[in-house]
Amino acid sequence: MKPVTPTITPDMVRQHGMTLEEFRRIQDLLGRAPNVTELGIFSVMWSEHCSYKSSRYYLKKLPTEGPRVLQGPGENAGVVDIGDGMAVVFKIESHNHPSFIEPRQGAATGVGGILRDIFTMGARPIALMNSLRFGAADHPRTRFLVNGVVDGISNYGNCTGVPTVGGEIYFDPCYNGNILVNVFCLGLVPSDKIFLGNASGVGNPVIYFGSKTGRDGIHGASMASSEFDESSEEKRPTVQVGDPFAEKLLIEACLELMNEDWVVGIQDMGAAGLTCSTFEMAGRGGTGIDLELSRVPKREEGMTPYDILLSESQERMLVVVHKGMEEEALALFHKWDLDAAIVGEVTDKPVVRIFENGNEVVNLPVELVVDGALDLKRPTKKPGYLQKVDHVNLADVPDLARGDETLKKLLASPNIANKHWVYEQYDHMVRLNTLGLPGSDAAVLRVKGTKKALALSVDCNSRYCYLDPFHGAQIAVAECVRNIVCSGGGPIGLTNCLNFGNPEKPEIMWQFEQAVSGMGEACKFFNIPVVSGNVSLYNETIGEAIYPTPTVAVVGLLEDRTYHTTQWFKEEGDLVGLIGLTMEELGGSEYLSVMCERVEGKPPYLDLPLARTINNLCLSLIKDGLAVSAHDCSEGGLGVALAESCISHPHAPTGAVLDVESTIRNDACLFGESQSRILVSFSAESRTAVEEKAKAVGVPFKVIGKVGGDSLVVNVNGEEFINEEVSHLKKLWMGALESYVR
């Protein structure tokens, strides 16, 4: 060790975001005090972001296995088999804190990070999605943040040539001080050519490649592990700038490299940079690594070992190749104009030793760093607010005599408005796979060389989760699955991004525990393995937490791509049927929020067995060629779903006349958000066949009207309730989002 190492003071420990208990634990297990560089390493590796110390205990409740699962959680991303010798690799990840500080670069580097997680495993990234949450649409910062985030995603995704095929965007005051930027990526890989991030084979060289290391992003991981306060300004120089061009080269170079038999293990440098990839690769390989920092390509002069090891410069990778193949590998990287250097070697003792010009500056046992953080079983406590909000008194909400104005207001509300302002900024077609473009329930991509297609959807209604995190999380899973089903697919895997407040507060931990339990139960019920995920805690500003937001992304498979179905009505004269039950449920609805500014009540009841039967029915109607459109009812209920089925057609909107029978309040009938409802349309000749199928499985089903005309007309119990020209509705719905964010 260098003798000049300053002794570590309690202040330094705190500045590194560690508790004194944790520091004592390090000292005890290490048998000595760490030096400053080592302290830095512990601080990032034991941070919430890297160690999952608050969440790991609960995450065990999620089902992670299934016959298709080739790789569950623990690697850079999960892998699910889709047959035909192919597999999909996918994951979702958050970049919330950086995007709040610098929306454009924060979001861009979020895309970069998730892309690397996918191609690290040998997969060609073929689709991106994003789940975005901003503060109130009229909050002064929202416009700036939305524009920056969307621009950042657009720029990075488009430049790397990976289509952004779907996503979601919500506005709610609970995100005023903490926006959420969750990015999902899916890649395609031959199922026998999956690469893992492990360093094995003593004597094998460790190669660094990609961009040079600068001083950027030092301590990003620990930033993501603490709340925002006024001093977050100070943390600003840690913002990284993304270089999508470098990333594109990195993708191509990696995939070319993986065509060869040279690679032993490979991992990107994400949060905690070189440190994390070195320790994790050694950890998975059960080996050690010797690293020489003077060989690391650097962008700046005078970087200390601390800087180099903790830098979060983007677009960098670490690979272990078979000994003797290093020159070939380097030549390949240079072909792609990437910096590359042999920086180390795999050793047999499970210790990472790091040298600077031959002087040892770090010497740490791998296991202590990678797995040493104690799982905290943090206390939980049911939050007091629930008592105030978990019921809704409709006595002072007069029922609606007509629904036209409400429908228009909902269609023009930012959460329901059409999102083309966002997705037209994304190249969603490149690579020629996108059969189902953004604008329907799920994105659908063909799998070249097979008959198959993939369906992707990302979802979470965080208002429901605020009112009841257990059922809210279940609903998120169910809705995502329903989106897949409406598009003609069946779910095969799930990934999640759990965005919550400060886990040190028992109330937040309670939300977390409830949401994970609910999600786990729903996944078990639907038989969907959770193969990857991400946890983002400390989404709080000055003590104000966001609504619990357990975002889920579900990947579905269409055995035949001709099953692909869209949400809009197709032909005049087709009949419209509603599968499912409408109950008097207004709790947590968009209607209550937009029309009455109330966030209260219980989220709608989710009957899992009924949801499954309905999904099966819908799928079989699609597969038998009976249903020509299918759309699930979500925010805004039946009324909005009907309007969307009329107006979301990419060319011409079409009207419909519906006759609804109801024994409940009008507002609940049209704008309540009862779960597991799907609108389908089919030709008049198919009516008997459809009705018989529904009857056979005992699912509530009613033909409620007919496609045609220029207006959406809804009669309730024989009385006209809505009558609006569809061209007018379309204009409102298409133009609304832009009017808020531009």
Ligand X SMILES: Nc1ncnc2c1ncn2[C@@H]1O[C@H](COP(=O)(O)OP(=O)(O)O)[C@@H](O)[C@H]1O
Cα 20 vs. chain centroid, distance in angstroms? Answer: 34
Identify what 249 binds: Mg ion, ligand X, other proteins, none; CB under 5 to 8 Å per kind: other proteins
Q: Which stretch binds Mg ion (CB under 5 A): 83-91, 344-352, 396-404, 438-446?
A: 438-446
**Has 219 been annotated as catalytic?**
no
- Spatial distance between the Cα atoms of 237 and 241, rounded to a whole number of angstroms: 11
Residue 497 beta carbon to ligand X: minimum distance, rounded to whole angstroms: 14
Contact pick of 25, 95, 104, 378 for other proteins (by CB under 8 A) = 104
Report which residue type is found at 345.
Answer: E
Which C-beta is closer to other proteins: that of 122 or that of 438?
A: 438
Residue 561: closest CA among 456, 487, 650: 487
- Spatial distance between the Cα atoms of 672 and 604, rounded to a whole number of angstroms: 8
- Spatial distance between the Cα atoms of 336 and 737, rounded to a whole number of angstroms: 41
Nearest residue by C-beta to Mg ion? 441
User: Who's near 384: CB < 8 A, 6+ residues apart?
Assistant: 507
- Spatial distance between the Cα atoms of 533 and 554, rounded to a whole number of angstroms: 12
Tokens 């024989």, residue located: 718
Residue 130 beta carbon to ligand X: minimum distance, rounded to whole angstroms: 5
Half-sphere exposure of 624 (CA within 13 A, CB side): 15
Q: Binding of Mg ion at residue 483 (CB under 5 A)?
A: yes
- Spatial distance between the Cα atoms of 420 and 239, rounded to a whole number of angstroms: 29
User: Who's near 733: CB < 8 A, 6+ residues apart?
Assistant: 411, 412, 416, 417, 418, 643, 644, 647
Active-site annotation holder among 16, 49, 631, 649: 49
Contact pick of 426, 464, 569, 701 for other proteins (by CB under 8 A) = 426
3-state secondary structure of 206: strand
Residue 580 beta carbon to ligand X: minimum distance, rounded to whole angstroms: 15
Q: Which stretch binds other proteins (CB under 8 A): 100-108, 260-268, 279-287, 351-359?
A: 100-108
Question: CA 77, 523, 116 angle in degrees (round to 5)?
Answer: 10
- Give strand pairing partners of 711: 725
Identify what 41 binds: other proteins, Mg ion, ligand X, none; CB under 5 to 8 Å per kind: none
Residue 320: closest CA among 41, 114, 120: 120
Q: Binding of other proteins at residue 561 (CB under 8 A)?
A: yes
Residue 314 beta carbon to other proteins: minimum distance, rounded to whole angstroms: 8
What DSSP line would sit under 351-383, residue for residue? EEEEEETTEEEEEEEHHHHHH-SPPP-------
Residue 634 beta carbon to Mg ion: minimum distance, rounded to whole angstroms: 5
Alpha helices, DSSP H only, in 391-494? 404-411, 420-423, 462-467, 469-486
Nearest residue by C-beta to ligand X? 167
Which C-beta is closer to Mg ion: that of 311 or that of 487?
A: 487
**Has 651 been annotated as catalytic?**
no
- Spatial distance between the Cα atoms of 201 and 188, rounded to a whole number of angstroms: 28
- Spatial distance between the Cα atoms of 489 and 80, rounded to a whole number of angstroms: 15
- Spatial distance between the Cα atoms of 101 and 103, rounded to a whole number of angstroms: 6
Which C-beta is closer to other proteins: that of 269 or that of 576?
A: 269
Q: Binding of other proteins at residue 316 (CB under 8 A)?
A: no
3-state secondary structure of 523: helix
Q: Binding of other proteins at residue 424 (CB under 8 A)?
A: yes
Which C-beta is closer to other proteins: that of 6 or that of 449?
A: 449
Contact pick of 441, 513, 585, 673 for Mg ion (by CB under 5 A) = 441
List residues near ligand X by CB under 6 A: 130, 132, 164, 166-169, 419, 422-423, 426, 438-441, 443, 459, 483, 634-635
Q: Binding of other proteins at residue 101 (CB under 8 A)?
A: yes
Q: Binding of other proteins at residue 425 (CB under 8 A)?
A: yes
Identify what 126 binds: other proteins, Mg ion, ligand X, none; CB under 5 to 8 Å per kind: none
Residue 132 beta carbon to ligand X: minimum distance, rounded to whole angstroms: 5
Contact pick of 131, 182, 240, 418 for other proteins (by CB under 8 A) = 240
Active-site annotation holder among 95, 97, 428, 471: 95
Identify what 168 binds: other proteins, ligand X, Mg ion, none; CB under 5 to 8 Å per kind: ligand X
Residue 426 beta carbon to other proteins: minimum distance, rounded to whole angstroms: 6
Q: Binding of other proteins at residue 110 (CB under 8 A)?
A: no
Q: Binding of Mg ion at residue 635 (CB under 5 A)?
A: no
User: Who's near 272: CB < 8 A, 6+ residues apart?
Assistant: 44, 45, 47, 49, 50, 220, 221, 310, 312
Where do contacts with Mg ion occur on this chain (CB under 5 A)?
Answer: 441, 483, 632
Active site residues: 49, 95
Positions touching other proteins (CB under 8 A) are 101-102, 104-105, 151, 154-155, 158-161, 211, 214-216, 236-237, 239-246, 248-249, 299-300, 313-314, 335-337, 420, 423-432, 435, 446, 448, 561, 650
